[in-house]
Amino acid sequence: MVMLMQADLKVLEERLGYVFKDKQLLQKALTHRSFSAQHNERLEFIGDSLLNCAMALELYRRFPAINEGVMSRVRASLVCQEALHEVALRLGFSNYLRMGEGEIKSGGSRRPSILADAVESVFGAVFMDSDDFRVIQRVIGNLFSEALAHVNPDKDGKDAKTQLQEYLQGRHVALPEYTVVAVRGAAHQQEFDVDCFVKKFNLHTSGTAASRRAAEQEAAGKALASLEASGTVGKPKGDGHGHGRPHTGYGMKKKKTVDG
């Protein structure tokens, strides 16, 4: 695993939406420090700054009415490790990382922190190769398009999962459980079905998206909307013996598995 084959890099470039002039720059971006002294950490430093700047500009243009504090909170949720890990999984980064044997044996190619760092390194490499900020803006915009589409500035920059969690905690209700019930498609083009379950009300809602995180957000948003509409949070219906039962209109979803 000394060098990445050009054919392999071509597949990754297609997923990124950018073709490198200097393939060695992309290889360096995918090289962990355990593999070589010529590793990706300097590119990661550049990529982190580029990502934050590109997201700040995107939020500034999309939401002219929100203030700096809300933009900061929204940006933080969009560029967190979990979000970058989701991008890495969609692009199949674990198949391209160059790592030392010890790191490989310890599962480094699947570690969220390493994958998230590699995404930022590749962003840095795209900019260094293109020498054009507009190019990296486009790449980042495409990769985060679905996450950006779920931003709701009217909720003070908080995503649906955070809103649902705070809504339930404020009423002393246990937090929801999220379960992936189906995954379809190839590794870099997967679609996730997620179930959100609020046990106290026997409430199930579902979400479907290109990433687990986005599917959870969709399911959480539906759950919050249902609870707010019912107006019965904190007062679950019971059978007289303390056992809750589903509210009218709360659909149950049978879990299923789908071959990927």
CATH number at residue 91: 1.10.1520.10
The answer to whether residue 221 is domain-embedded is yes
With beta carbons less than 8 A apart as the criterion, state whether 18 and 131 touch.
Answer: no
Residues of the domain holding 68: 6-152
CATH of the domain at 187: 3.30.160.20
The answer to whether residue 1 is domain-embedded is no
What's the confidence (pLDDT) of residue 53?
Answer: 97
Residues 181 and 220 grouped into a single domain: yes
- Of the candidates 44, 48, 58, 129, the residue annotated as catalytic is 48
Residues 209 and 147 grouped into a single domain: no
What's the confidence (pLDDT) of residue 3?
Answer: 53
Radius of gyration, alpha carbons of the chain: 21
With beta carbons less than 8 A apart as the criterion, state whether 144 and 137 touch.
Answer: no
Residues 58 and 179 grouped into a single domain: no
| Count of domains observed in the chain | 2
Indicate the residue among 91, 124, 152 that finishes a domain. Answer: 152
Q: Helix 112-130 to helix 81-91 angle, to the nearest 10 degrees? A: 70
Does residue 132 carry a catalytic annotation? Answer: no
Residues 43 and 92 grouped into a single domain: yes
d(CA 94, CA 79): 19
Residues 50 and 170 grouped into a single domain: no
- Give backbone dihedrals phi and psi of 211, rounded to 5 degrees, phi first: -140, 155
Residues 134 and 196 grouped into a single domain: no
Residues 17 and 129 grouped into a single domain: yes
Which residues are within 8 A (CB) of 21 and not within 5 positions of it... i.e. 6 or more apart? 129
Residues 105 and 211 grouped into a single domain: no
Digitized pLDDT (tens) for each residue of the chain, 260 residues in all: 445 555 588 999 999 999 999 999 999 999 999 999 999 999 999 999 999 999 999 999 999 988 998 899 889 889 988 889 989 988 989 889 999 988 888 888 888 899 999 999 999 999 999 999 999 999 999 999 988 887 877 765 678 888 899 899 999 999 999 999 999 887 666 788 999 999 999 999 999 987 888 889 899 999 999 998 887 554 444 433 334 333 433 333 444 444 43
What's the confidence (pLDDT) of residue 256?
Answer: 45
What's the confidence (pLDDT) of residue 141?
Answer: 95
Residues 197 and 251 grouped into a single domain: yes
Indicate the residue among 94, 125, 152 that finishes a domain. Answer: 152
Indicate the residue among 152, 187, 219 that finishes a domain. Answer: 152
Residues 143 and 171 grouped into a single domain: no
Does residue 120 carry a catalytic annotation? Answer: yes
DSSP letters along the chain, please?
Answer: --S--HHHHHHHHHHHT---S-HHHHHHHTB-TTT-SS-SHHHHHHHHHHHHHHHHHHHHHH-TTS-HHHHHHHHHHHSSHHHHHHHHHHHTGGGT-B--HHHHHTTGGG-HHHHHHHHHHHHHHHHHHH--HHHHHHHHHHHTHHHHHT--GGGTT--HHHHHHHHHHTTT-PPPEEEEEEEES-TTS-EEEEEEEEGGGTEEEEEEESSHHHHHHHHHHHHHHHHHHHT-TT---B-SSS-B-PPTT-----------
Strand order in the sheet with 203-209: 177-184, 191-198, 203-209
Residues 36 and 135 grouped into a single domain: yes
With beta carbons less than 8 A apart as the criterion, state whether 171 and 200 touch.
Answer: no
Residues 124 and 240 grouped into a single domain: no
Q: How many CA atoms lie within 13 A of 245 on its CB side?
A: 6
- Of the candidates 44, 86, 103, 120, the residue annotated as catalytic is 120
